[in-house]
A and B are shown apart, each in its own frame.
Chain A
């Protein structure tokens, strides 16, 4: 997907998680990754109470020219769900554009997820489930799904590059941690490429 729409407006992303899961950090890493790719980006938290465990949102816009608007993202092109327990609990997909993309951190395939309200709204090939927490535990040793989710975003949309994400991680973390997270990015990227291949060939059959 291109970094901005035909009318010049930025691609809009909304991230859903729970307080304490690093939802804002994920949006920030995404914005820095886009910056590393030479794009303009803006990330900001939702302006609600942040309580541990409570549903939270963060927003990101990515474009090829400076972004001026300050309104929250109400019509996202991409929704990223950090925590599968939010499915069916929170209006995750409100305003999602008809050509939009959805990435869910889950260990079950898309067909087994509670995606009421999403089916028929966007093409099935635009939805992926990626076991980001498992990938994080394997590579980073902590249940921090952000890097893997961004790797999945890169594979699904092409909006940002894996190299951009890895640069963003190197800016933020010590070398060993950045390296572990980079491995999570690459694995999630590969998982999504493989999963999409299967979905697309199944759809063709």
Chain B
């Protein structure tokens, strides 16, 4: 049914349609509205699930492990520092091969403390063994959550759906919320691959030494990588049932004959597509490639989609300090040997708006072959230079965050 609702509410509805048995979560911005809405549905008797209030994110993910291990369909949601706080258990869910689903309402990692959107939280668990799916719109957020439960239970791997905090979670836009009968057709009752069952006892979570650790991890990686084969037909099945295109591994946009291709993940693709349409109108051969599935990384699909590109611009909302772009590094590896330029544009950190005009400047520079290898979009170079100078001039120059804020306040007064 078409509705004009908040992204968090849309995600909550999608999760409820998947009939989770256990929902456990600890509130943190910008995830809070999601679990508040699910909690309200449980309380009102609209959702027959056990809603477990926990005292921390570490407890939330631990409850998720326990619930999933006894065969429950289990769900949680978090963001940013909450994800860091549950980190040990995040790795354990994946290592144990438990098919839990989690929403990550993407938010920056501190310090400095910042509650707004970027992808540094998702990137911090890149190697944990979860499938990581990125939503471009709230419609995709709905559809990817249903797909996530299907995929998780098919492969017995955990799936994380990344939804841009505030930008999507707090946006009120038109979404089509599926009917229960449609979701029931897509999502069969959970049949666990392994389960703690008193009638058929097994132990889960063995200590594994040097004699077998490599093999167990190798098998875990094979199991995770199977998502690359399983996801496209599964997404097709969901697309057929829901009568719309449910994202799978990659989402190409105007790639035919595109010389310059912009690669990105999440909601920034919307703004990027608008800029690409304008540049296409001006006669530039430019297109975009959305990476919907970041882990496992769809190397072959990306290589195929970028086969015609002569230049690639990766726009990403995170970076590896002391190195550079994270997605860009993965893209560069896929394209190694091609010898084409790959640019990194770091944008939208800590909720900085990603302006179409700024993107257009970058993309025009890419077309003109004048774009730098790495660009920090809309970086305030004056403020950076002042702090660099201060650090050079004084040993005890003080904390950078406070210094920069003071400089900005001073500038706004003059």
Q: Do A and B come from one complex?
A: yes
A25-33, A155-163, A177-185, A191-199 - the one binding chain B? A25-33
Query: Looking at the complex, which one of B117, B172, B271 makes contact with A68 (CB distance below 8 Å)?
Result: B271
CA distance A45 to B274 in the complex (A): 21
Query: Looking at the complex, which one of B6, B116, B270 makes contact with A70 (CB distance below 8 Å)?
Result: B270
Q: Is A42 interfacial (CB 8 A cutoff)?
A: yes
CA distance A31 to B6 in the complex (A): 10
Is B270's CB under 8 angstroms from A69's CB?
yes
**CB neighbors of A among B151-185 (8 A):** 164, 166-167, 170-174
Is B174's CB under 8 angstroms from A41's CB?
yes
CA distance A68 to B356 in the complex (A): 11
CA distance A34 to B4 in the complex (A): 9
Name the B residues within 8 Å of A66 (CB-CB).
174
CA distance A31 to B9 in the complex (A): 15
Is A71's CB under 8 angstroms from B353's CB?
yes
Is A69's CB under 8 angstroms from B356's CB?
yes
Per-residue interface assignment for chain A, residues 64 to 96, with 1 indicating a CB less than 8 Å from any chain B CB and 0 otherwise: 001111111010000000000000000000000
Name the B residues within 8 Å of A43 (CB-CB).
171-173
- Nearest to B354 among chain A residues (CB) is A71
Name the A residues within 8 Å of B172 (CB-CB).
27-28, 31-32, 41-44
Q: Is B267 interfacial (CB 8 A cutoff)?
A: yes
Is B354's CB under 8 angstroms from A47's CB?
no
The total of chain A residues at the interface (CB under 8 A) is 23
- Nearest to B168 among chain A residues (CB) is A70
CA distance A24 to B171 in the complex (A): 10
Per-residue interface assignment for chain A, residues 1 to 30, with 1 indicating a CB less than 8 Å from any chain B CB and 0 otherwise: 000000000000000000000001001100
CA distance A71 to B354 in the complex (A): 6
**CB neighbors of A among B94-116 (8 A):** 116
CA distance A42 to B6 in the complex (A): 10
Q: Is B376 interfacial (CB 8 A cutoff)?
A: no
A4 CB → nearest B CB, Å: 13
CA distance A70 to B267 in the complex (A): 7
A94 CB → nearest B CB, Å: 14
Is B167's CB under 8 angstroms from A70's CB?
yes
Q: Is A101 interfacial (CB 8 A cutoff)?
A: no
Per-residue interface assignment for chain A, residues 30 to 59, with 1 indicating a CB less than 8 Å from any chain B CB and 0 otherwise: 011011100011111101000000000000
B306 CB → nearest A CB, Å: 22
Is A44's CB under 8 angstroms from B167's CB?
yes
Name the B residues within 8 Å of A31 (CB-CB).
4, 172-173
Task: Known A47-B117, A68-B271; judge A42-B167 contact (CB<8 A).
Answer: no
Is B167's CB under 8 angstroms from A35's CB?
no
Name the A residues within 8 Å of B174 (CB-CB).
35, 40-41, 66
CA distance A35 to B120 in the complex (A): 34
B337 CB → nearest A CB, Å: 34
A200 CB → nearest B CB, Å: 33
Q: Is B126 interfacial (CB 8 A cutoff)?
A: no
CA distance A66 to B176 in the complex (A): 13
Is A68's CB under 8 angstroms from B354's CB?
no
CA distance A68 to B4 in the complex (A): 15
Per-residue interface assignment for chain B, residues 3 to 36, with 1 indicating a CB less than 8 Å from any chain A CB and 0 otherwise: 0101000000000000000000000000000000
Q: Is B232 interfacial (CB 8 A cutoff)?
A: no
Query: Looking at the complex, which one of A24, A28, A42, A71 makes contact with B356 (CB distance below 8 Å)?
Result: A71
A89 CB → nearest B CB, Å: 14
Q: Is B298 interfacial (CB 8 A cutoff)?
A: no
Is B171's CB under 8 angstroms from A47's CB?
no
- Nearest to A31 among chain B residues (CB) is B172
Q: Is B85 interfacial (CB 8 A cutoff)?
A: no
* Residues of chain B whose beta carbon lies under 8 Å from any beta carbon of chain A: 2, 4, 6, 116-117, 137, 164, 166-167, 170-174, 267-268, 270-271, 273-274, 351, 353-356
7 A-B pairs within 8 Å (CB atoms) are namely: A31-B172, A35-B174, A40-B174, A42-B173, A43-B173, A44-B170, A70-B171
Those 9 A-B pairs whose CB atoms lie nearest each other, nearest first: A35-B4, A68-B270, A43-B172, A44-B171, A47-B351, A32-B4, A31-B172, A28-B172, A42-B173
* Residues of chain A whose beta carbon lies under 8 Å from any beta carbon of chain B: 24, 27-28, 31-32, 34-36, 40-45, 47, 66-72, 74
Other than the given A32-B4, A72-B353, 15 more pairs (CB < 8 A) read A31-B173, A36-B4, A40-B174, A42-B172, A43-B172, A44-B166, A45-B170, A47-B116, A66-B174, A68-B137, A68-B271, A68-B274, A69-B274, A71-B271, A71-B356
